[in-house]
Amino acid sequence: MQNNSRVGISVGIIKNGKKFIYNYGSTRKDKQDLPTEYTIYELASITKTFGATLLAKAVLDKKVNLNDDIRKYLKVDYPNLEFNGMPITLVNLANLTSGLPNWMPDKDIFGKADPDTIPYILDSVHTIYSRQDLYRDLHQVKLKVLPGSISKHCNTAAQLLGYIMERVYNDNYENLLKKYFAKPLKMKNTYLLKSGEVPLKMAKGYDGRGRIMPVIDWEDLRVAASITSSTSDMLKYMVFQLNEKDPVVSLSHQPTFGKMEDGAIALNWKVKKTEDGRRSISHTGGSLGFSSYMVFYPDLNSGIVLLSNEADQETQNELIILADKIMKR
């Protein structure tokens, strides 16, 4: 926080089942306003863990199989969504091995643009890029690797998984979030961002130069990156995720790609063995103006969530380092 580019941070900790919350900095740069446990931040890619948990539930509800071809759940034919006869499966969407492009549309939208303008170019393109546009452009995708062979961050895969969960449960994603997370876990400050609607208690998000950034309320990334929440709510979500007696939680934590020694991928969670042989389960998040990190240790009934209203190239890594320091103490 001594770095002048930092704005605010909320720290939520569970230690042996007991909760602690600490807040630093401000919710905005133009005046001092200390964050609270109810201050709302963009979760960015941590949003993806909600969709993956829904997938685990759908498997246990016998509505889907992890190895189902995703085209089973798409309304029109996509003969291109395979490589050498190998289709993309649901588990490929959830463990980052689909081979789909990270962003849609899959083309260079930046050209030789000034790096400072990139957030605004992204916002201008994705504000008008609809679900129908995504489905249309999926027909032009050409897979370059075998699904299941290489793990790479993929917003498109997470978005598609969310759309498929909507179809499987015959409901929109906002209602699914409320029904299976917000209401049963009493998460009263957790929302799905919609265009032009910003939660009242939401902090302002900034880049490393102190500029207020657009929020990720884009339709084509809504179920991949647009859940907002508070520290108090995310600790409730962590309690839920720490309870591996719940078969849905247990399934979502099972490694599906890679080795735990290096960091395996479960259903959108990174699962790794710590130096003392215990498991850490984590996910990072970074939007245009917010950074987040959630890591928990089921064997210790402990974990940390860090929510910050500032995003630059170093913020996410600093949050990971900070969480490690807290755990070692």
**Which token pair is 203?**
């902090």
Is residue 86 assigned to a domain?
Answer: yes
CB 326 within 8 A of CB 280: no
pLDDT in tens, the chain (329 residues): 888 889 999 999 999 999 999 999 999 999 999 999 999 999 999 999 999 999 999 999 999 999 999 999 999 999 999 999 999 999 999 999 999 999 888 777 777 777 788 888 888 888 889 999 999 999 999 999 999 999 999 999 999 999 999 999 999 999 999 999 999 999 999 999 988 889 999 999 999 999 999 999 998 888 899 999 999 999 999 999 999 999 999 999 999 999 998 899 999 999 999 877 889 999 999 999 999 999 999 999 999 999 999 999 899 999 999 999 998 88
Assigned token pair, 22: 């600490």
Question: Does 47 fall in a domain?
Answer: yes
31: domain CATH number? Answer: 3.40.710.10
Q: Is residue 3 part of a domain?
A: no
Q: Is residue 54 in some structural domain?
A: yes
Q: Is residue 1 part of a domain?
A: no
> What is the model's pLDDT at position 249?
98
Residue 93 half-sphere exposure toward CB, CA atoms < 13 A: 33
Domain coverage including residue 21:
8-328
Structural domain contains residue 222: yes
- In angstroms, the first-to-last Cα distance of the chain is 19
Q: According to the model, what pLDDT value does residue 113 have?
A: 77
In terms of DSSP bridges, do strands 264-265 and 206-207 run parallel, antiparallel, or are they unpaired?
unpaired
CA distance 22 to 67: 42
Residue 2 resides in a domain: no
- Residue 161 belongs to some domain of the structure: yes
Structurally, the chain folds into a number of domains equal to 1
Instruction: Report whether 299 contacts 272 (CB < 8 A).
Output: no
Structure tokens at 258: 């890679």
Q: CA 5, 40, 210: angle at the middle one, nearest 5?
A: 20
- Residue with structure tokens 């591996």? 244
Q: In this predicted structure, what is the pLDDT of residue 124?
A: 86
Q: What phi-psi label fits residue 16: left (phi over 0), alpha (psi between -120 and 50 degrees) or beta?
A: left
Distance CA 214, CA 19 (A): 32
Backbone Cα Rg of the chain: 19
| Gap between the Cα atoms of 77 and 92, Å rounded | 19
Residue 62: its H or E element? none
